[in-house]
Amino acid sequence: LNKFLMNTNSNELTKLRLQEICDHFIEYPSTRIIAMQNKRFMKILLKCLHRTDDEELKGDIRKCLSVIGYVNYPKGCGVRILSIDGGGTRGMMGLEVLQALEDALGGPKVAEMFDHIVGVSTGGIIAILLGAKKYSIKHCKEIYMSISKDLFTQGRFSGVSGLLLSHSYYNTKKWIDILIKAIGDDWTILDSCRSLNAPKLSIISCVVNASMLQPYIFRNYEYPPGRDGHFRGDCRDMIWQALQASTAAPGYFEEVLLGSVLHQDGGVLANNPTAIALHEARMLWPNERFQCVVSVGNGHHVNELDTTHIKSSTGVQEKITRIVDSATDTELVHLCMHDLLPANTYFRLNPYMSFPYTLDEIDPDKLAQMQKDARLYIRRNHAKIEDTAEALLIRPSKMQLISRQLRDFSERHGLYTRSF
């Protein structure tokens, strides 16, 4: 395949060879290191990417490079990460925060400012709409509300029947149709890397048919050869399948079987995916510092100890509720990140809720109150959002730019190979 690629003379034939090579690397991952070490092969890909005006061919080359494990330098002076929590229809609160951050940036779209975007459950939907579909936040809000109202408007009888028969309160077939209508059914997660400056995307689900629950990462990239992460994942699934798996909340939707892996909502295990985001970024950019890590929550309320009604024990239902709450808690990860990362690097933006909204909340009054809660948080944390934007806007130093340009030039001429 390598020789065939080197001997092709037309763009159409090159595209065909690139697809064959991608399929080969996905099927036989161990051969990727051979390609990475082949200076002539890498030279052809990088030089063609630099010189061709055929946008479709450029997309094919970026896809091939991503499968090999080739990683571009960060767009800023270090790695910039966006992590988005789960939370059902409370995702509207996260979108309000992202809109405020985009306004503070003063021009660029918020998704363009990040090298890596990670989302779980409803955060995965937002990550795809912003990072893969490249929609404006305003358009994302419209789609989001349309999805929520179409999906969660259902009679109680059919919901209870579905819960008893398939452990799914909501109609899974309807959910799939809504996803395909919003996202499309012809995009794999890997295809989202085809555009210029596309961010690395990670959508988190939870594997439930292993001996222990474990995160699963739908990626639009592969690790560089020689690096092995802690989490299972793949880049071949359709985007709608990745989102269905990531949002398959127990009791709300059926579990999702993809190949031999059974998935549930990623929020069951990692409702705040910031720690997973840092791990993935370290696999991709081991020698780069973190410039800015932005963790967006979808609402939380302050828990205070009620000393007026002291209980000596709790009931079974309350015990189960507490277990669910602890499994989907987002603030413990935040506290760890807050203690471990520098204050001018890590920013947690998570509005306070005046009411404990449910995952499937569609009551107009409560949705309006959600928006009020988010906007109140934004007003009170205006300085913090401005600081976040300022950290994101830091550009690479002149020395960084010169070094990266020299390395890119050398790679295109087969004179330099990054060590992996």
State pLDDT tens for residues 185-231: 999 999 999 999 999 999 999 999 998 999 999 999 999 988 888 99
Q: What is the spatial distance between Cα 413 and Cα 408, in angstroms, rounded to a whole number?
A: 9
The pLDDT assigned to 324 comes to 44
Q: What is the spatial distance between Cα 243 and Cα 252, in angstroms, rounded to a whole number?
A: 14
- What pTM did the predictor assign? 0.91
Q: Which of 82-86, 185-189, 250-254, 272-276 has the weakest average pLDDT?
A: 250-254
256: β partners: 263
Q: What is the spatial distance between Cα 66 and Cα 207, in angstroms, rounded to a whole number?
A: 25
Q: What does the pLDDT look like over 106-117, one tens digit per residue?
A: 989 999 999 999
Do the beta carbons of residue 120 and residue 266 sit within 8 Å? Answer: yes
Return the closest-CA partner of residue 233 out of 270, 208, 275, 261: 261
349: β partners: 296
Average pLDDT of the chain to the nearest whole number: 87
Residue 327 binned pLDDT confidence (cut-offs 50, 70, 90): very low
* Phi/psi at 116 (5° precision): -145, 125
Query: Exactly one of 60, 191, 265, 373 is catalytic; which is it?
Result: 265
121 noted as active-site residue: yes
Return the closest-CA partner of residue 272 out of 326, 207, 218: 326
Q: Which of 42-46, 250-254, 323-327 has the weakest average pLDDT?
A: 323-327
360 noted as active-site residue: no
Element (H, E) at 411: helix 398-412
What mean pLDDT do residues 285-301 have? 94
Q: What is the spatial distance between Cα 150 and Cα 162, in angstroms, rounded to a whole number?
A: 17
pLDDT at residue 309 greater than cutoff 80: no
Do the beta carbons of residue 414 and residue 42 sit within 8 Å? Answer: yes
CA dihedral (72, 78, 79, 83) positive or negative: negative
Here the tokens at position 180 are 């395909």
Q: What is the spatial distance between Cα 338 and Cα 409, in angstroms, rounded to a whole number?
A: 39
- Higher-confidence position of 90 and 304: 90
- Higher-confidence position of 288 and 325: 288
pLDDT at residue 142 greater than cutoff 50: yes
pLDDT at residue 313 greater than cutoff 60: no
- Tell me the three state secondary structure of residue 5: helix
What mean pLDDT do residues 52-67 have? 94
* Phi/psi at 25 (5° precision): -65, -35
The pLDDT assigned to 384 comes to 97
The pLDDT assigned to 11 comes to 84
Q: Where in the chain is the domain with CATH 3.40.1090.10?
A: 79-301+316-392
Return the closest-CA partner of residue 79 out of 288, 302, 273, 348: 288
Residue 300 binned pLDDT confidence (cut-offs 50, 70, 90): confident
Highest mean pLDDT among 20-29, 168-177, 198-207: 198-207
SS (H, E, C) 253-322: CCCEEECCEEEEECHHHHCCCHHHHHHHHHHHCCCCCEEEEEEECCCECCCCCCCCCCCCCCCHHHHHHH
The pLDDT assigned to 395 comes to 95
Here the tokens at position 178 are 């809504």
Indicate the DSSP class of residue 107. S
pLDDT at residue 15 greater than cutoff 50: yes
Q: What does the pLDDT look like over 363-399, one tens digit per residue?
A: 999 999 999 999 999 999 999 999 999 999 999 999 9
The pLDDT assigned to 306 comes to 46
Residue 319 binned pLDDT confidence (cut-offs 50, 70, 90): very low
Q: Which CATH code for domain 79-301+316-392? A: 3.40.1090.10
What mean pLDDT do residues 7-29 have? 86
Residue 162 binned pLDDT confidence (cut-offs 50, 70, 90): low
Here the tokens at position 286 are 């081991």
pLDDT at residue 415 greater than cutoff 80: no
Query: Exactly one of 66, 85, 115, 121 is catalytic; which is it?
Result: 121
What mean pLDDT do residues 165-178 have? 80
